[in-house]
Amino acid sequence: MSESKEKVVIAMSGGVDSSVCASLMVKKGYECVGMTMRLWKGPEVEETECSTQSCCGAESVEDARLVAEELKIPYYAINFKEEFWEKVVTKFADEYFAGRTPSPCILCNEKLKFDTLYKKAMEIGASKICTGHYARIEYDEETGRWVLMRGKDPKKDQTYFLFSMTQEQLSKTLFPVGDFTKDEIRKLARADDLVTAQKPESQDICFIPDGNYAKFLERHFPEKAKAAAGKIKHVDGQELGDHKGIHSVTIGQRKGLGVAFGQPLYVTRIDSQTKDVYVGSQSDANRKEFLIERVNWILKEGVPGECHTATIKIRSRSPEKPGKIYPLEGGGAHVVFDEPQNAITPGQACVFYIGDKVLGGGWIEKVSDC
């Protein structure tokens, strides 16, 4: 039991992880309040566009309500649709039309879950917000800093999506699920007979469940999509054909380019000014150095002139690779891998680790030409 009856807000998505999160906090004796962010729908969105089972769907809201009812805790579904459209969906579109590849789940955490929802939790007198993320938070007495750490289950670790959390947010957040594996969470859900115990995981972006980003952007931002068309060129300068829009391609992409060539072609660079898409062999997309912006330092502050050795992750599903991070004036950093990596992509997050601890992270801005 907790020493005092602290009030905490449980961010409930309607999935098994946040459901068990709520159950664990109730068992620990906290005064729990469940909240779900109603995120979708955007302007003139068809019913089929947002899966009912995704975290923005009606079924998930109902599942969260049923779990809260089972646990006998107050529950509220809060309308964040306007904020979601402006801070996540519009930013998602802007990035694609700028020839970059965004990470909307990180934006949602940064702009909504650990900002708007966090503030709502503080407004009702909660001391902390709890989510179902597979991560852990510890306080380092020696440095006086809150530290973001990997969860117990290495296959489900979600620290990559949480790198932008501030020290204040970390101090006011609990990740009870991070101390368990996914299989253990399923067992706890079954033991509590929660309605979400067997619910499958969502794999795609919640507002684009079919994964067709280009179709989504063309439907909701038709004028920008029309202006995004251009040429496909080989890295040697040879013009190979046309593409329907830079929003339809990403660095490293092979399939769906629509051009014939004697060997497999991969997207190596996107020129947002000319709308030209450059293609070449897979090795043509290999790079070692790049710049990141808006760096958030967690384990310790990055001081310009220093060099930090760490393992570096440039995509959520890619393994980390060793390299060095050089903090720069203005909040950015110069990142150098020990060995060339394929498809380092502007717009994606870059997160660096020392062991199980998150040193920090930022957004990939510019990739070296060599």
List the catalytic residues: 108, 206
DSSP letter string over 187-220?
HHHHHTT-TTTTPPPP-S-TT-TT--HHHHHHHH
Beta strands in 226-280 (DSSP E): 230-234, 239-243, 266-270, 277-280
Cα–Cα distance, 59 to 54 (Å, whole number):
8
| Residue 113 DSSP class | I
Q: Is 82 left (phi over 0), alpha (psi -120 to 50) or beta?
A: alpha
Secondary structure in 3-state letters for 319-345: CCEEEEEEECCCCCEEEEEEEEEECCC
Burial label for 354, CB within 10 Å (0-12, 13-18, 19+), is middle
**DSSP character string of 40-70:** ---TT--GGGS-TTSTTSHHHHHHHHHHHHH
Tell me how far apart the alpha carbons of residues 264 and 79 are, in angstroms, rounded to a whole number.
Answer: 47
Strands across the sheet containing 7-11: 75-79, 31-38, 7-11, 128-130, 173-174
